[in-house]
Amino acid sequence: MDRFKRNERIAALVKVLCDNPNKMYSLNSFVELFGAAKSTISEDIVIAKSVFEELGLGVIETVPGAAGGVRFRATASAKESMDFFDKLSKKLSDPKRIITGGFLYMADIIYNPQIAYSAGKILASCFDWNGIKYVVTVETKGIPIALMTARAIGVPLVIARRDNRVTEGPTVNINFVSGSTGRIQTMSLSKRALERGAGVLIIDDFMKAGGTARGMMDLMKEFEAKVVGIGVLMTTVQPYDKLVNNYIPLMYLEEVDEKKGVIKIKPNHQLIR
């Protein structure tokens, strides 16, 4: 007699997989956990996989072979992305968010766990995970979104710092030019933070001219790392020519008119087709 009923097994199986995105579990691990036959576990996985696909809750993927098993990929459906963009656009278009100098207040948005989780999941869905071993960001407000992106992919987050810290040990330091201000800034990363030649995904919260992203790319060259892609929560429409290419923004900031109290934001419609 089985130790657990089918609905109990499926509930626990889904909990384990969703708590550990992109981690491969052998069928034997669930056989031992539930005390059920491998054929029974396979049937449970098929049921869970079908429900997830139908409701757009992500992908439960089975991989054949001795090194295979089952894993969960935390992807975002088109409907989920559209709902997220609509709600976020309304929040960010509030004229009260305009700060003196034509800046946009976004801290409460970025540090909201649910928003950061959704943004990270959508950003993760935009890239091929197979070559990604790290998500890299810089020491700014983009850390929560980068962390959630890393969680969705199931890889570590690496944070480049603005200055050296003794607790980091030996570091690699570079100077880069801010694309928006033209000022020279510094970025550093511990030599122990990355494996040489690893694939990395760069994530940031905001891009204007792309100077910070360009700096992170240059820093990755020092580690012989391969930049798989660049994702940002929001980018400005102007300047049109950025210092980096092939980046994916979730949203575009078209205008912030301080005098009229107007904020124009549009989603990246290519992500919801």
Tokens of residue 31, six digits: 């056989």
- Residues of the chain whose pLDDT is less than 50? none
Report whether 148 contacts 154 (CB < 8 A).
no
Distances (CA, A) of 198 to 92, 128, 153, 155, 156: 36, 14, 15, 12, 12
Write down the domain spans for the chain: 6-73, 78-272
The average confidence (pLDDT) of the chain is: 91
pLDDT tens-digit readout, 9-57: 999 999 999 999 999 999 999 999 999 999 999 999 999 999 999 998 9
Q: Which residues have CB under 8 Å from 84's CB, separation 6+?
A: 76, 118, 119, 122
The tokens for 210 are 């792309």
Q: What is the pLDDT of residue 26?
A: 94
Fold category of 78-272 in CATH: Rossmann fold (3.40.50)
User: What pLDDT score was predicted for residue 79?
Assistant: 85
Choosing among 1.10.10.10, 1.10.1840.10, 1.10.3720.10, 3.40.1160.10, the CATH entry for 6-73 is 1.10.10.10
Burial class (CB in 10 A: 0-12, 13-18, 19+), 185: middle
pLDDT value at residue 230: 97
Question: How confident is the model at residue 273, as a pLDDT?
Answer: 57
Give the pLDDT of residue 183: 82
- Would you say the pTM of this structure is higher than 0.85? yes
Contact 86, 272 (CB under 8 A): no
- Reference 53, options 30, 26, 25, 72; nearest CA is 72
pLDDT of residue 179: 62
**Whole-number pLDDT of residue 101:** 82
- Cis bond leading into 239, ω under 30°? yes
- Reading the block at residue 110, the tokens are 């970025």
